[in-house]
Structure 1
Amino acid sequence: MRISTLAVTALLTLAAATAAHAHAFLDHAEPRVGSTTPAAPKEVVLFFSQNIEAAFSEVEVSDANGARVDQGKPKVNATTMRIGLKALPPGTYRVHWHVLSKDTHSTEGNFTFQVEK
């Protein structure tokens, strides 16, 4: 039984170490990923799976022509990043984000949402 106990302890230790060094991934967003909104949102809010570093985290929102429609710098609070938007006409918008988690791992991604016509 001693070998089994050691094996279980080693697996639990490995699992804890892996969890401690996980990356910050996008959990969900508002507007939702791939959604169509009936009215133009005033901001994009991104929710991450871990705390992120404000100084090294960015988000850009652009229209179908690639023109930026976000305003100002993103605001970061623990696991949330938000950025204001200009007045958006109907169309498709692309959100591209890049974050550095508190454990120094970086992740990035993008998604689109649409504003109804």
Structure 2
Amino acid sequence: MRHLSLIGIIPLAFVLATSAVHAHALLDHAEPRVGNKVASPPHAVILWFTQKLEPAFSGVTVTNAAGQRVDVGKPRVSGNQMSVSLRGGGTGTYHVNWHVLSVDTHKTDGSFTFQVGP
């Protein structure tokens, strides 16, 4: 009986170990913080992820309250961090949309908002 119980445990341990290896790059935190309110438009949005990113297949766009893009130039990717410069876009709700490809080839995407104004 003891031999049979080990047979069931070994595959379960293998599945748990390999699922950790094949995790997706998820948004860990951002600046400005997700859902936060800042007094004036930031000069950049910086995103940190739970895994290293593939620069050629990762990107971010930022729009202001009027729906106009305020991101400037290409996003910069270094390790697990991605950032993009912003031009002033006034007050209101800003929308950040991102998509990434982690070094383990899994794609993820998402979005969040932050507020600008007094």
TM-score range, shorter chain: over 0.9
Query: Map of 1:1-117 to 2, 5 A cutoff?
Result: 1-117=2-118
Asked whether the equivalents of residues 32 and 45 of structure 2 are also in contact (C-alpha less than 8 Å), the reply is yes
Asked whether the equivalents of residues 45 and 85 of structure 2 are also in contact (C-alpha less than 8 Å), the reply is yes
Let me know the Cα RMSD of the aligned residues.
Answer: 1.2
TM-score normalised according to structure 2 size:
0.91
Residues paired across the two proteins, number: 117
Gaps in structure 1 of 5+ consecutive residues: none
Match of 1:3, SS state, is helix
CA drift of 1:28 comes to: 1.1
After the TM superposition, list the runs of 4 or more consecutive aligned residues in structure 1 that deviate by more than 2 angstroms.
1-9
TM-score normalised according to structure 1 size:
0.92
CA drift of 1:3 comes to: 2.5
% identity of equivalent residues = 50
Superposed CA offset, 1:60-98 (max 9, x none):
000122211011111111111001111232211000001
Asked whether the equivalents of residues 65 and 91 of structure 2 are also in contact (C-alpha less than 8 Å), the reply is no
Query: In 2, distance between residues paired with 1:41 and 1:9?
Result: 51
Gaps in structure 2 of 5+ consecutive residues: none
CA drift of 1:100 comes to: 0.7
